[in-house]
Structure 1
Amino acid sequence: MGYFVTVEQGVNIYIEDVNPEGKKTILFIHGWPLNHKQFEYQFNVLPSMGYRCIAIDWRGYGNSDKPIRGYNYDRLADDIHVVIRALQLEDFTLAGHSTGGAISIRYMARYQGYGVSKLVLIDAASPSSVSEEVANMFITETLNDRPKMLRGVADIFFFQYITSPLSDWFFQLGLQAAGWSTAAIMRTLRDENVYNDLNKILVPTLIIHGIHDKVVPFINAQETNKLIKHSQLVPFQYSGHAPFYEERDKFNQLLIQFTG
């Protein structure tokens, strides 16, 4: 079931809500430059096992409205909070990938983990920023030849071989975002970080990270693990930045075990 939640005047966020009657709820927060559809291979499996699976498109991405402003971590965390309140979610697992992991971390700190009983960070953009040189390169490419930039991201995103059709699918997900929001999030990744948020996370936290990740190096996961109390780090030996796809059976089973 798909619907919209208004997070502020003139900005509606798209929600994909599968199996609303499920006994356990996971709220998925996608990464840059994608949208909720990146979790297709979780939504194929988990709802049939009794889970309510919810995913949002950030403002500027996927089916959500695409305003010019509002792409800092605080505003994106505020959007999540509005969605959680609107859906009256309680005792749920929050699972964020890449930049979505950083947004989830900011939500936990900014709202004292309201409603969240467990946290899953998937190759999260934590705790440091993206270097100025790398971020500026992505911004320049986004504003001048975004399709070429997206092809380049796909090349470093995966460790395992992916088919040309899957690469095309990944590419199309990126194109569903607005160019300005794609660049704006990269500015946020350059200019902000979540280092000081990590010690405010008090719920059990599972950190999943591909050891071959070229986007967010595995050492970042190790540092995040040290800074979050009650966290456990599970390395994915055959994944780059996309363990939710590259080792999806292991990934899904781990989610089930952690949330069970």
Structure 2
Amino acid sequence: MVRNKSISQLASTSRRKVLASALIYATSLTVRSSSATGKEKDSSTFPAQRTDPMTSVTTKDGVQIFYKDWGPKSAQPIVFHHGWPLSSDDWETQMLFFVGKGYRVIAHDRRGHGRSSQVSDGHDMDHYAADAAAVVEHLDLRNAIHVGHSTGGGQAARYVARHGKDRVAKLVLISAVPPLMLKTEANPGGLPIEVFDGLRKQLAAGRSQFYLDFASGPFYGFNRPGAKASDAIIWNWWRQGMMGGANAHYDGIKAFSETDFTEDLKSITVPTLVLHGDDDQIVPVADSAPLSAKLLKRSTLKIYEGLPHGMCTTHADLINAELLSFIAA
């Protein structure tokens, strides 16, 4: 039975409040950088404001996009697109797994997220896809598999549809936001705008506590009866979220909820794997994965009983095996 409890029904959590020491640590991180003389100097700033030119690309509108690039340059590349409000760090389990299988793995921090520039504009799917294209072109990636989770699924779909000609071999959408999350006359099964207004209100009121509650509850299904919460998973989610810019995350809610990917999906011709959990409390399955699979020309749909939105983390072994089977086929 599919359960579609919306994200407006965030369960109250009894998790401990954010430790003051964690906040002090996060805001006083010391970044080591090399001076022109080759000596190291200290600067107290967030890593998101300082990127290594060897691991970043500057977009046409002047935004620095941080990326990770592991594995043999001659190997087939797998490009990972992360969810809101996280960073490329969210893919480390998958990246380690696939680099161990001989693939080249790449993941970048979306603008305003992680270690990429905290800019004031461009927090929309068109810019997200163009930024991904800048990374792909900078590294000259071809015959690539693109894997997107949640908001990253929308980003990946738009990238493949608008920028991926002759560069993409396959696409994977995991717990992804397409075709459209928002309830409209044409999409009656979507979530009402009040849900997303509520997210914006909670973020603006205090995103540190909001992020802690979000990770402690519906994102990983830790609010379900009998679920065993993992402090390590929760705090890693919170850490990634707090690395990014509040403005980017605020505007990103509109990007992931109100963007219609229908035409993008219709135009994609590469084989596409669509994975979703039927207990996804963030992107309800009934109005997402099956509809995307119908719009795609060459899709394979798999829905997992009882799995949450963050199943790439909670059930990494299962998801990694599914990805490997699809990629290697």
For normalisation by structure 1, the TM-score amounts to 0.95
Q: Which of 162, 175, 194 in structure 2 is aligned with 1:123?
A: 175
- Residue 246 of structure 1: aligned partner: 314
- Residue 194 of structure 2: aligned partner: 133
Could you tell me how far apart the structure 1 residues matched to 2:308 and 2:121 are?
Answer: 31
Q: The residue matched to 2:241 in structure 1 has which SS?
A: helix
Amino acid at match of 2:310: A
CA contact (8 A) 2:181 2:283 kept: no
Displacement after TM superposition at 1:165 (Å): 2.5
Q: The residue matched to 1:181 in structure 2 has which SS?
A: helix
CA contact (8 A) 1:108 1:114 kept: no
- Residue 210 of structure 1: aligned partner: 277
- Residue 128 of structure 2: aligned partner: 76
Aligned pairs for 1:103-252 within 5 A: 103-111=155-163, 113-130=165-182, 131-154=192-215, 155-159=217-221, 161-219=228-286, 220-252=288-320
Q: Any gaps of 5 or more consecutive residues in structure 1?
A: none
Amino acid at match of 1:158: Y
- Residue 24 of structure 1: aligned partner: 76
Displacement after TM superposition at 1:124 (Å): 0.6
CA contact (8 A) 1:17 1:55 kept: yes
Deviation string, structure 1 residues 93-115 (Cα, Å, up to 9, x no partner): 00011011011111122225441
Q: Any gaps of 5 or more consecutive residues in structure 2?
A: 1-51, 183-191, 222-226
Deviation string, structure 1 residues 203-222 (Cα, Å, up to 9, x no partner): 00001111110111111111
Question: What is the alpha-carbon root mean square deviation over aligned residues?
Answer: 1.6
Displacement after TM superposition at 1:227 (Å): 1.0
- Residue 40 of structure 1: aligned partner: 92
Deviation string, structure 1 residues 143-188 (Cα, Å, up to 9, x no partner): 1211122123211111353312221111111111100000010022
Q: The residue matched to 2:202 in structure 1 has which SS?
A: helix
Could you tell me how far apart the structure 2 residues matched to 1:55 and 1:238 are?
Answer: 28
Q: The residue matched to 2:58 in structure 1 has which SS?
A: strand
CA contact (8 A) 1:139 1:187 kept: no
For normalisation by structure 2, the TM-score amounts to 0.76
Could you tell me how far apart the structure 1 residues matched to 2:61 and 2:85 are?
Answer: 24
Task: Determine whether 1:54 maps to 2:95.
Answer: no
**Matched residue pairs, number?**
260
- Give the helix-richer structure, 1 or 2: 1
Displacement after TM superposition at 1:238 (Å): 4.2
Displacement after TM superposition at 1:236 (Å): 2.4
Displacement after TM superposition at 1:22 (Å): 5.6
Question: Which one has the largest radius of gyration?
Answer: 2
Amino acid at match of 1:240: P
Amino acid at match of 1:165: A
Q: Which of 95, 103, 108 in structure 1 is aligned with 2:147?
A: 95
CA contact (8 A) 1:222 1:233 kept: yes
Could you tell me how far apart the structure 2 residues matched to 1:133 and 1:114 are?
Answer: 40
CA contact (8 A) 1:214 1:241 kept: yes
Deviation string, structure 1 residues 120-140 (Cα, Å, up to 9, x no partner): 001110111343111111111
Could you tell me how far apart the structure 2 residues matched to 1:113 and 1:210 are?
Answer: 30
